[in-house]
Chain A
Amino acid sequence: MMDMSCNIAGVHFKNPVVMASGTFGFGKEYGNYYDLNLLGGISGKGLTLHPKEGNSGIRVYETASGLLNSVGLENPGIPMFLREECPRWEGLDTARIVNLGGNTLQDYVDGALMIEQDEAARRREGRSAIDMIELNISCPNVKAGGMAYGIKTETAREVVREIRAVTSLPLVVKLSPNAEDIVGMAVMCETEGADGISLVNTFSAMKIDIRNRRSVFDNLYAGLSGPAIKPIALRMVHQVSRAVSIPVMGMGGISSAEDIVEFIMAGAAVIQVGTFNFINLRAGKELIEGLEQFMMEQKVNSLDEIRGIL
């Protein structure tokens, strides 16, 4: 029997395939294409305390092997999520991760508290909808918000510390590849009590409309994802995995079972799949099948045998 499972801060992942925040909604839409309970986990659309309309103008642009996005954290707000989506999440047999963003420190803290209290109330009744918080300090789209927090270690420390203080839920911090010192950032998260690290978010990038002599995006810069970033993301996951002892969720351009194996060999406990969900609506299911196939062919009984071997 092959073992693809993994445990992060007491949360069981039946396999390492987790759907990345911002590319999977809250799962509902993809549930029409395959059974979401096959997945290792789902990180929901990034949430802020209050609803956000997101960025104006064009929000997506393709590059060579990559995708620029400028969604700007459009989301229904935490109260709406708790009310409208959590009842469905209660019925899911997969690791359910809430991705938490914020414009201000107070927003982050209030949002985390609301999630904590809502889930605590549910658990008192013997129910559960949320297994983990993924703290987004790295969304590069929100002016004066996510960007600043995820760049400098000491600015980020404040957020991680405050959130750690108000939640007993397992806490994973999602790092920006735009951080000045991504290894230092990860070590700080571990020191401040994070249960895990996820990386990388999108790379801050740009596209110019040369005929109209302006940026394609109203927000000037956009976030680059997709296969184009994979080699850099892999290197960062490797560096961070070696520097911390807490589990790492690796991501960046993963679009095949072979890519997953690379990230696991680089040290990732689990991986996340983002942009590839747009390319293949059944990505989650097919990647898990591909990974099983690989393990069978390579006679790997447990992913622990190959995790962090480099």
Chain B
Amino acid sequence: MSEVLANEQVAEGVYRLAVAGQFAGTMGQFYMLRAWDRYPLLSRPLSIFNVTAEYVEFLYLVAGEGTEMFSKLRKGDSISLEGPLGNGFSRPSGKTAFVGGGIGIAPFYYALGQIPDADVYLGFSREAYMVDEFRAGTTGQVVVNVGGIILDEVDFNAYDTIIACGPHKMLEAVQRKQADSGTKAEVYVSLENRMACGIGACLVCSVQCRDGRKKACADGPVFRAEEVVFA
């Protein structure tokens, strides 16, 4: 069991949670969190927003019963974490762009710790959040779009590596844009499938890939964009 350090609302329905302790993790990995005993049954996967020597942070959107319960946590409350889990991003080469849609921006803040000159594209449907933090975290440019299509702002031919996280429709568009632009960049997507065990045993987060089924939790959540078969 770990202890909640802070859980502050940063936008409507969006919270930044800090949990005390020494936690490991590379960029793009996630933890399974639960802040309750029995119900809801499943823990919730949240990607790492930040790790320091004293705490780990998560940025999450209230989307259902579990995240609703997270949103009510206060300093000093108990929470249990399993992780870090998943493959994360391998270290990008060359000029890098991070493209986040909505709460999909979460994994990129921590990634800037290792790629401090990456360009960051943040797309929001209604309200921007965490923009100042991202601006402070990179020497590259930070492009923000509210209500439009963030992907339209990204020149796929201007980068060596592009990593995107966001809604399925956005990631599908990333795959299309990769093909249409003829870019030579390595393009990755980070998936947010529903999970149960989080460790690769139950197969509920299965992803259809060109060479068969893969597990979002253990083989991913980061995949090469061209590898994923979007339904």
Residue from B194, B195, B202 with most neighbouring chain A CB atoms (10 Å)? B202
Mask of B166-197 contacts with A, CB within 8 angstroms, 1/0: 00000000000000000000000000001111
Chain B neighbourhood of A205, CB < 8 A: none
Contact B197 A59 (CB under 8 A): no
Contact of A203 with B by CB under 8 A: no
Interface residues of B in 187-231 (CB under 8 A from A): 194-197, 199-206, 208, 212-213, 218, 231
Contact B201 A24 (CB under 8 A): yes
Contact of A71 with B by CB under 8 A: yes
Write the chain A residue with the least CB distance to B195. A60
Chain A neighbourhood of B39, CB < 8 A: 64-65
Contact of B87 with A by CB under 8 A: no
Main secondary structure of the interface of B (DSSP, over half): loop
Minimum CB–CB distance for B212 against chain A, Å: 7
Interface residues of A in 281-303 (CB under 8 A from B): 281
Known: A22-B202, A74-B203, A74-B206. A281 touches B197 (CB 8 A): yes
Minimum CB–CB distance for A212 against chain B, Å: 14
Contact B203 A54 (CB under 8 A): yes
Contact of A175 with B by CB under 8 A: no
Chain A neighbourhood of B41, CB < 8 A: 62, 65-67, 226-227, 275, 278-279
Contact B197 A71 (CB under 8 A): no
Contact of A56 with B by CB under 8 A: yes
Expressed in whole angstroms, the Cα–Cα distance for A62 and B69 within the complex equals: 15
Contact A62 B197 (CB under 8 A): no
Residues of chain B having any CB pair with chain A under 8 Å = 38-43, 65, 82, 194-197, 199-206, 208, 212-213, 218, 231
Residues of chain A having any CB pair with chain B under 8 Å = 22-25, 29-30, 32, 45, 51, 53-54, 56-62, 64-67, 69, 71, 74, 226-227, 255, 275, 277-279, 281
Extra inter-chain contacts (9) besides given A59-B205, A60-B202, CB under 8 Å: A23-B197, A60-B194, A62-B42, A65-B39, A67-B41, A69-B196, A71-B202, A74-B206, A255-B38
